[in-house]
């Protein structure tokens, strides 16, 4: 029922939580897991057994819960949670999902160990990582090498040729990409904002933005002040596409 204080909308029309969208996906997959496995086989050219005893779950605290069951030391970080997972006797599919945000190298770097850790902990022969995101996001950086390509997209899932045509929550998950409160106030020449710490990680991974902006440029008063007081938590506007510096505040072209 629509609520007046939500501008006469339902909370399902307002929620931007990736967990909410994953729950919606879990609900439709659980009705017929084989249908989704067939779809994945077609997208990725896989030969997953459709007749296997598949189980699907979301918000999977894999290492923690497996450790409690076996009594062994956790095979990975106990705080690690898979957005979704499809489990069978010989294959585990881990799905990491984004809606309003992008895959970052900083986060993805922590996931690089998952396939081998899960194999060692379970003896399962095949562990695959799948990225699910908006059709507006192009594969790049570490995510491009970790996840099977192409990405799954929310738009694709609900398209006429997809497994769940017309599912409104998936269409909405696709549309809200990068439409976040934290991006408000970004300058006209900026694609988004990153912290100093995030910039360092991106430079290390050779996935840095083309331009970084700070008032006064690299040798301006802001950078001088941040050099003395600390820059890791500071926010910087960045641009990924401009061929030349968008303005005099930009550096690192």
Q: With contact defined as beta carbons under 8 Å apart, do 154 and 133 qualify?
A: yes
Q: pLDDT tens digits, residue range 194-223?
A: 888 888 888 777 777 778 888 778 888 778
**Edge-to-edge strands, sheet with 235-239:** 192-195, 235-239, 211-213, 250-251
Sign of CA dihedral 114, 120, 123, 126: positive
Q: pLDDT tens digits, residue range 113-167?
A: 999 999 999 999 999 999 999 998 887 889 999 999 999 999 999 999 999 999 9
Of 56, 59, 55, 60, give the one whose Cα is nearest residue 26. 56
Sign of CA dihedral 31, 32, 37, 39: negative
The helices-and-strands tally (H runs, E runs) of the chain is: 10, 9
Q: pLDDT tens digits, residue range 8-47?
A: 888 888 888 899 999 999 999 999 999 999 999 999 999 9
Distance CA(68)–CA(61), nearest Å, equals 11
pLDDT of 189 reads 56
Residue 179 confidence class, pLDDT cut points 50, 70, 90: low
pLDDT of 182 reads 47
Q: pLDDT tens digits, residue range 78-100?
A: 999 999 999 999 999 999 999 98
Total residues belonging to the chain: 253
Q: What is the pTM of this model?
A: 0.72
Q: How many CB atoms lie within 10 A of CB 229?
A: 8
């Amino acid at each position: 029922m629509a609520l007046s204080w939500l501008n006469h909308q339902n909370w399902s029309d307002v929620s931007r939580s990736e967990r909410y969208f994953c729950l919606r996906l879990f609900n439709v997959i659980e009705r017929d897991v084989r249908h989704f496995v067939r779809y994945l086989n077609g997208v990725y050219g896989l030969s997953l057994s459709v007749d296997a005893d598949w189980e699907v779950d979301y918000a999977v605290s894999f290492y923690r819960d497996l450790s409690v069951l076996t009594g062994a030391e956790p095979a990975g970080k106990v705080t690690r949670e898979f957005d979704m997972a499809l489990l069978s006797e010989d294959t585990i599919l881990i799905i990491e999902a984004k809606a309003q945000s992008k895959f970052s190298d900083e986060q993805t770097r922590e996931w690089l160990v998952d396939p081998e850790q899960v194999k060692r902990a379970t003896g399962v022969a095949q562990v695959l990582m799948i990225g699910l995101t908006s059709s507006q996001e192009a594969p790049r950086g570490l995510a491009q090498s970790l996840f099977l390509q192409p990405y799954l997209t929310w738009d694709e899932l609900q398209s006429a040729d997809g497994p769940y045509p017309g599912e409104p929550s998936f269409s909405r998950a696709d549309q809200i990409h990068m439409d976040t409160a934290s991006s408000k106030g970004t300058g006209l020449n900026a694609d988004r904002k990153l912290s100093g710490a995030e910039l360092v990680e991106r430079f290390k991974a050779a996935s840095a933005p083309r331009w970084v902006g700070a008032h006064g440029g690299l040798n301006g008063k802001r950078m001088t002040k941040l050099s003395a007081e600390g820059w890791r938590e500071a926010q910087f506007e960045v641009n990924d596409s401009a061929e030349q510096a968008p303005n005099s505040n930009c550096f690192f072209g």
